[in-house]
Chain A
Amino acid sequence: MNPTNNPTFADQQSSSDVVGKPLVRVDGRAKVMGAAVYSAEHNQLPDLAHAVIKTSDVAKGRITGFDDSAAKRIPGVLGIFTHLNLPPLAQTPSTSEGKKKIALAMQMSFTPLTSDQIFYAGQPVAIVVADTLEHAQHAAALLKVSVVAETPVVSYRDTQAKLFTPTEGAAAQVPAKRGDAQAAFSNAPVQLTLTCQHATNHHNPMEPGATIAHWEAADRVTVYDTTQAIASTHKALYVMLGLPPDNVRVVTKFLGGGFGSKLTMWPHTVLTAQVAKAVGRPVKLVLTRPQMFTSMGHREDQQQTLRLGATKEGKLLALLHEKISTTSPWDNYAEMNSKIVHMLYACPNFDASVKLARANVMTSTYMRGPGEAPGSFAIECAMDDLAYQVGLDPIAIRLLNHADKDPGTGKPWSSKSLKQCYERGAELFGWGKRNPKNGATRQGNKLVGWGMASGSYPVHDAQGNARVRLYADGHALVQAAATDLGTGTYTIITQVAADSLGIAPENVYFELGDSALPTTAMSGGSRAAGTVSSSVFLAAQDVWQKLIKLAIADQHSPVYKAKPADVEAVKGRLQLKADSTKGEAFITLMQRIGLDDLEGVATGHYGSSYESPEATLNTPQAKKDDAASHSMHSFSAHFCEVEVDTELGTVHVTRWVSVVAAGRILNSMTARSQVIGGSIFGIGAALMEGTVRDPHLARYTNASLADYHVCVHADIPEMTVAFIDEEDRYINAMGVKGLGEVSIVGTSAAVSNAIFHAIGHRLTSLPITPDKVLKALRKTQ
């Protein structure tokens, strides 16, 4: 491709009809009518049977036997599978070979139903298949499992726990140190130490994990699964089942939330495929809500200590960050909180460490804003404390320490509008009227506090393919194996395709969620919007290049015999760059030459693998503008007002403002929704979310939506969202940074900072429930 006539960056000026506009979700009508078909709802399959997983009561031990005499007697039971009779997998992630092949497609390397060992409460020990759900549930309940129980390790806080420093795995990827943080801290005029505890959190998407496996032939299976990542689930399945890739198809047309829990494949998915093969019928498995607490990962319980050294004026000198958390018996996973501590502020000295303790829990996993969400809690609470200590406004302390380039790498930012986020947020919130004194704004029984915090999230490298088929009647089929977990992928990609092709969005049919479609990035780590939009934009350019070639060869075309480089496509018209009156609509051309449709394909790059137009043009600034030499992050600022009832200990969020700078916003309405959603997730984590494991039995005591509290309507006030427009030419062809994560990062800190302002006490143990508030207030009395 010739870069001079094949745009690789969508200039804002040239694509503006629907991109950015608040287009109503294209999948919305199906959703509000109950017509959207989620993964567990492909009921049309013939003789669809139901599977129910039986899990372990104890957290550690050994299975000594099963008594299936009563279970077998339940009519309609098609099979009862345990480690004793389940046909083995071709590969599992438990072996080094399997792990290598499956790689990141599975978060947990342990494969249940492969031995008699029990490692965590809720571990699958059997799976029952029957003709009806009721029969399967009943039989699973009647199946008796004999176990020799052992004493489990509960968490990093267990006296039996052994802390270690991981040398491999995700938990070993600690950001590089800079300077001598220990010495700088020791010599700093202002020293602060903040220790934060975070309860275990569970994603709890409203749609439980579910799989339907349908073997269409002995060696060919279609799996309808609740996955945020079609390609990696596809890979994990074909590797584990020992099938050629083409013989496994993964379908996820609608996904009822995920928040990271559906990002990697979990054992129940492949178990469903295994038992479906064994019983010779399509099988549906839906996890129960209690099983959702032990089947698809969680955010690990953790403690972080941040030591911060600063000048008397509040300029950072040192940041020392330590994290201790619980991991599973097999994997070294810890979300990397120190990433954001590393880059958020200019600070010459930085060091971080991670320690793990193995316990009898499943492997924890990515949860909305993995690393950045809890990490921002530590740094943003500490900055708030620093502001208080040196007598500066919380925004002023942040401006004073603003990082003009990435402090970790020294690279320039591809774009950064954090200062504008502060400014706009302060204006929308009325921050200027804030009482600088803590604990001083009382309204009746309540103390009122205002807090704010910054957020940031990196642009993770990704790439993906897309196919665009443009029809002579003016409509287009656009395809990529993306997923839409509520983030708006269906809608924003429709908008991008519409503008790229110069057609109305109602003439675009965007198909996603099927491994038969062009492979693309997972919907996780805020990758999807940037990657898929870029690949679709570029695939549309591929269509135009092909059409231009046809046009200049057609003697009836107004651009006949023009050079390809002199022809451009504008709003569906092929015209001469020099004289736009010389041109015609693609429909006219295609119909005249009898071309029913034309297909374009492209690979879109997101992050440092993207070659910016400047780089490909090889201009003198090439080196400077090379995308890979930039640090790429989105930024945000959140503002929160709370009312704290000083006698009852309850905290209520009464006002909220979020301002986000995340490159080009593809749909202002769905983007706003995503930001609100992230903030509400963060408010929940700050005030109420926490799963509890019994301190002796290592089994969750509140694994339900009645007892694991997430926010309800009554917890949430009116919320204001604003975006700072950015044109970032270095991150991808559409200049999109993604919103899913940055919308939560900093939010819990904003709540805690508002509580600090309200009551004058710093609460750092999450969730901040009434008991903790009362305890803090007792110190005042």
Chain B
Amino acid sequence: MNDFHYAKASTAKEAADLMNDQPGAVYLAGATTLLDLMKANLAAPPLLIDINTLPFKGIEQTKDGLRIGTMERMSTVGENPLVVQEFPAVSQSLLLAASAQLRNMASIGGNLLQRTRCGYFRDAAFPCNKRQPGSGCPALTGDNHNMAILGTSERCITTSYPGDLAVALLAFDAVLILQNQKGKQRQVPINEFYLLPGDTPHRENVLEAGELIVAVLIPTATHAQHSTYLKVRERTSYAYALASAAVGLDVQNGIIRSARVALGGVGAQPWRSPAAEKVLTGAPANRATFQDAASAALQNAKPRSENAFKIELAQNTLVRALETVANA
């Protein structure tokens, strides 16, 4: 690890001032992602601004839904009764991630900014366009077993966000509240937050320098109450997804009134599928419909040498998740 400076900010203004003074400074919350990267010499910020005492906390019911402060920990949010009741898929996505210890540490904001598990990104000895633009992507012809099949580019094929929460938030139309160094806030729907790799895989989201994610808003909806998160892994727990699905259905008299579908583990970013939702909406809630929706969701998949299995796996994952909700 590099020799950095450390400062504890007690207000957002202090944090912003520190950030202003020091180009390259980073915010420090749960530390789980940041220290992991720094220990691997993948990040070397000159200053860590500890924001753990900033008041971006609380899980509150608003008139439209839920507001979650991003300094809350994964464990707190995952087991919060409001979240469990109104957004089961969100709760499950949190509790199926990482380990109990890490969930006690990692903040919601940090979770949304976690970095890829791609072995080429994680090891500075490899070239990687995400780490060093223009250096190449060995995964294209290398170990791409767990790489993405949707939204990739010839510069980068990884699942840039390897986690779970953002997949569930994406399914249920969450909005992120970002606050810049001047204290000014803006709202960004989560489906506009993450960037596909294209020619600039090093740019992963629209967060500007010094901006903080301070809250997540999730609108209440029937399809969110009837939701689930299914995660398929190579071991039963404590592993990243090969494929995952966050789905929600509002079914009345056997007909789907509204549906939400997002996939994890298969997209270059968390992957919402309007095509699948279109198939589902208005259709009978049965296996045939779900299979059609799954086909639609993976229609544009582009597998590489070792990950074609993900098409079938993601489809089956999606069908299973939809059946789980429909039969609940």
Contact = CB atoms under 8 A, between A and B. Distances in A.
Interface of A: 57-58, 74, 121, 134, 137-138, 141, 290, 445, 647-650, 652, 687-688, 692, 694-697, 699-704, 706-707, 709, 711-715, 769-771, 774-775, 778
Contacts of B41: 141
Contacts of B60: none
* Max count, chain B CB within 10 A of own CB: residue among A134, A290, A771: A771
Interface string B153-179: 000000000000000000000000000
Q: Which 5 A-B pairs have the closest CB atoms?
A: A701-B119, A57-B125, A771-B309, A714-B236, A714-B237
B235 A699 contact: no
Interface in B1-19: 1-3
A714 B123 CA distance: 29
Interface of B: 1-3, 40-41, 117, 119-120, 122-126, 138, 141-143, 145, 232-240, 242, 309-310, 312-313, 316-317, 319-320
A647 B238 CA distance: 21
Given A652-B236, A695-B143, A770 B309 contact: yes
Given A58-B125, A649-B313, A701-B143, 12 more contacts: A137-B1, A138-B1, A290-B123, A647-B320, A648-B317, A649-B232, A687-B235, A688-B234, A700-B119, A714-B237, A771-B313, A774-B312
22 contacts: A57-B124, A58-B125, A134-B3, A290-B40, A648-B232, A648-B316, A648-B320, A650-B233, A694-B143, A697-B126, A697-B142, A699-B123, A703-B123, A707-B117, A709-B235, A709-B239, A713-B237, A770-B234, A770-B309, A774-B309, A774-B316, A778-B312
B122 A704 contact: yes
B234 to A, nearest CB: 5
A692 B3 CA distance: 33
Given A137-B1, A703-B123, A770-B313, A696 B138 contact: yes
A138 B2 contact: yes
A696 B142 CA distance: 7
Contacts of B120: 694, 701
Contacts, number: 106
Contacts of A649: 232, 309, 313
A243 B237 CA distance: 50
A123 to B, nearest CB: 12
B237 A699 contact: no
Contacts of A774: 309, 312-313, 316
A728 B119 CA distance: 51
Chain A CB count within 10 A is highest, among B120, B138, B235, B310, for B235
Contacts of B138: 694, 696-697
B145 A771 contact: yes
Contacts of B320: 445, 647-648
A771 B138 CA distance: 22
A280 to B, nearest CB: 26
B327 to A, nearest CB: 11
Nearest to A778: B312
A647 B316 contact: yes
A692 B143 contact: yes
A701 B123 contact: yes
A694 B319 contact: no
Contacts of B3: 74, 134, 138
B125 A769 contact: no
Nearest to B323: A445
Contact of B242 (A697, A703, A770): A770
Nearest to A777: B312
Most chain B Cβ neighbours within 10 Å, of A134, A445, A652, A699: A699
Contacts of B119: 692, 700-703, 707
Contacts of B40: 290
A74 B2 CA distance: 10
* Residue from A445, A701, A778 with most neighbouring chain B CB atoms (10 Å): A701
Contacts of B239: 706, 709
A700 B125 CA distance: 10
A692 B234 CA distance: 15
Nearest to A121: B125
A134 B125 CA distance: 21
